[in-house]
Amino acid sequence: MNRPLTLFTGQWADLPLETLCEKAKSFGYDGLELACWGDHFEVDKADEQYCEEKRALLDKYGLKVFAISTHLVGQAVSDRIDERHKSIVPGYVWGDGDPEGVNQRAAEEIIKTGEAAARLGVPVVNGFTGSPIWHMLYSFPPTPTALIEEGFARFASQWKPIMDAYQKLGVKYGLEVHPTEIAFDIASARRALEALDNHPAFGFNYDPSHLGYQGVDYLRFISTFSDRIFHVHMKDVHWSDVLVEAGVFGGHTEFGDPGRFWDFRSLGRGKIQFEEIIRALNRIGYRGPLSVEWEDSGMDREHGATEAAAFVKGIDFPPSEIDFDAAFEE
């Protein structure tokens, strides 16, 4: 049996959830990964009755939910807060905008999100963490090692209490390794785990698109963190084979600009080797959902989400249950 195929609703939050349920079913999906914005999953409303209503709505369209995602609020837990964050967090998290207060209220909201996930009956919350040291990525002015260490220590002080709460709830947190987060490649992901003393509730929402264009070995990521892959995003990206105007850092250009080194693409239209990802996931025994996070600024999203569903169904396959050579034995 193939893995469940779900659609991440974050890029569809302009649509009411019921409208999206109807569309997702027609596109060919088995379920949804509910974003915690729009009306898709509202943490401040998520009591038992609310969760029952969400399950009933999904059931109406023959859909399931395996994870919810809190990327926007998660970003505000460890970030250096500025005016940009006001547009991505609820008003009650933003409050008066005092940075320390926003960090603290965001952390409290992430714990409430874990509690809501438990009520909904899902085992994984995906999201971002933010980073107190992303602005030090390029080492000029020279960055003392102590400042980086302080950054990881601050991250740990903010996230360990959250992870302790998640462990008690029986819910795991999957960080989507991504530029602007505490972990954005294999080396920083390893360091983030070490900072949290390899907390059992903390792992990764694997998304190859954010690794490939950086030059990170996205297949090695799976084998390196084989016991920490809690959820998987299927998302493609294209990067240039020639020198361009706006490099890996993007040149402050918009997605879709033809001068960019990289851009997200509908699945199968970029450079990610998805068959090798499936083989790697089979080797580590991952049987969870494959969740399409659809982004392609040059394509109609309904067309893209439909072709992406067909692509994933065509590329996914179960692992062998026997040793190949055993087939020749009498």
Which pLDDT tens digit goes with each residue over 113-145? 999 999 999 999 999 999 999 999 999 999 999
- Residue recorded with tokens 């490099």: 247
Residue 180: Cβ-neighbour burial (10 angstroms; 0-12, 13-18, 19+): middle
What CATH number does the domain containing 272 carry? Answer: 3.20.20.150
**CA separation (Å) from 60 to 56, 69, 148, 232?**
6, 22, 49, 25
Using an 8 Å Cβ cutoff, are 293 and 207 in contact? yes
Burial class (CB in 10 A: 0-12, 13-18, 19+), 241: exposed
pLDDT at 60: 98
The CA distance from 35 to 15, in Å, is 12
CA distance 320 to 159: 38
Mean pLDDT of 266-280: 98
Predicted TM-score of the model (pTM): 0.97
- In this structure, of 156-165, 189-198, 318-327, the range with the lowest mean pLDDT score is 318-327
- Is there a contact between 159 and 103 (Cβ–Cβ < 8 Å)? no
Give CA–CA dist 20/39, Å, rounded: 11
Other Cβ atoms less than 10 A from the Cβ of 142: the count is: 6
Contacts by 256-264, CB closer than 8 A, 24 or more apart:
256/297, 256/298, 261/213, 262/213, 262/237, 262/238, 263/237, 263/238, 263/297, 264/209, 264/235, 264/236, 264/237, 264/238, 264/295, 264/296, 264/297
Contact 109, 93 (CB under 8 A): yes
Residue 174 CA to residue 229 CA, distance in Å, equals 8
pLDDT at 2: 86
Contact status, residue 20 vs residue 11, Cβ threshold 8 Å: no
Residues written for the chain: 330
Give percent of the chain above pLDDT 90.
96
- What DSSP element (H or E) covers 212? helix 209-212
243 lies in which domain range? 5-328
Model pLDDT, residue 200: 98
Number of domains composing the chain: 1
| Burial classification of residue 324, based on how many CB atoms lie within 10 Å of its CB (0-12 exposed, 13-18 middle, 19 or more buried) | exposed
pLDDT reading at 324 higher than 80: no
Confidence (pLDDT) at 288 = 98
